[in-house]
Amino acid sequence: MEEVIDLEFGDDELLHIFEFLSADSLLAASQVSSQWYWVAQSESLWKSLCYSEKKIAPYKPDTVTWKEVYRMDLSCNCPHLIGIRNEELLWLGESLKGVCDNPSTQCSGHEERCPYTLDFLWYCMNVGCGNKGCGRRDKGHALEHFQQSGHPLYIKLNTLELWCHACQRWIGDQDSNVVEIAQAMRIKRCVQAIAKPRNIDIEMERRRTERCLPGGTEAEPIRYMIGSSWLDKWIRFIIGDATHPEDPIDNREFLTENGRLREDLPPFALVSEEQWKYFQEHYEGGWPEIKIIFNRETQMTMVMITQRPPGEQ
């Protein structure tokens, strides 16, 4: 008859054993006894699983546990943040001293001396690099650097916001999940603490809100006409190159004296209904309103022009 040996483990011994388990095995082990259950809840275990299996940086908001983070859908999180740990943050902060508070900081563009300075520059976050490139709406030296080096993460020098060229999106924006937002804020706070930039961007929340407005696409049946020059100023604002547009939205340039749409239209763009209503509410002007309605069945386009807001007709 085989002898049954009853092994008892202390919490520290169990914790060490559980470090070798997958998430499924850890959940199964938690059903064995109350001791095993509580040891299996250890934050260090789930933090390690998030790092090794979910490929996210080991930082989160204090409002959630690492086990809760593991259960989240993190498929849309930027996977390149995993490379930004304490030592990388220390290098980033130290390398930005005297850079993000100097208005004359120059673009590192390889061609003729690039005229773009601090407010237009993106700083490569790859350790040891520190390339400073202007945006794609300027001469595109930051994008060129990414294409040549493969370094994905960049920080906007005047706003300390993050962009990933590989993921093609802002990192930690309002449409990101709480984990990525916490990671982005940690990077920004670290840079602020070490590099001590003088100019803190007071319009960041407004810009992040407006970046998340859905843009108009050809598939949408209703869009609104707006001047290209005003929209370009607004785009400059949401990417951090300038303050918000102070010029009123004035669509009279698109109409004849009789209030009809001109045949020789000046440059314009079409925006979504949500964007247009937001612009009318938060910016001056916005009239006359020119609504473009496309009927997919008849393949016909109708233009509706409203000269003044309701109640002022």
Going residue by residue through the chain, which has 313 residues, state the pLDDT in tens, using 9 for 90 and above. Answer: 555 555 678 899 999 999 999 999 999 999 999 999 999 999 999 999 988 888 777 788 888 999 999 999 888 889 898 888 888 888 998 888 888 878 888 898 765 678 888 889 999 999 999 899 999 889 899 999 999 999 999 999 888 899 999 999 999 887 888 889 888 988 988 888 887 765 556 677 888 888 888 876 667 889 999 999 999 999 999 888 888 888 899 999 999 988 899 999 999 999 999 999 999 989 988 889 999 998 877 777 888 888 877 655 5
Which run of H or E residues covers position 122?
strand 121-124
Q: What is the pLDDT of residue 230?
A: 94
Rg (CA), the chain: 26
Q: How far is CA 172 from CA 60, 183, 275, 304, in A?
A: 12, 7, 21, 39
Q: What is the pLDDT of residue 241?
A: 85
Residue carrying the six token digits 């990077």: 187
Residue 172: name the closest of 61, 95, 35, 257 by CA: 61
Q: What pTM, to 2 d.p., does this model score?
A: 0.75
Task: Return d(Cα 232, Cα 106) in angstroms, integer.
Answer: 23
DSSP per residue, 134-177? E-TTTT-HHHHHHHHH---EEEETTT--EEETTTTEEES-TTS-
Task: Return d(Cα 192, Cα 291) in angstroms, integer.
Answer: 45
Task: Return d(Cα 144, Cα 166) in angstroms, integer.
Answer: 13
Question: Dihedrals φ, ψ of 232, to 5°?
Answer: -65, -40
Let me know if 177 is exposed, middle or buried by CB neighbors in 10 A (0-12, 13-18, 19+): middle
Q: What is the pLDDT of residue 118?
A: 86
**C-beta separation of 50 from 58 below 8 A:** yes
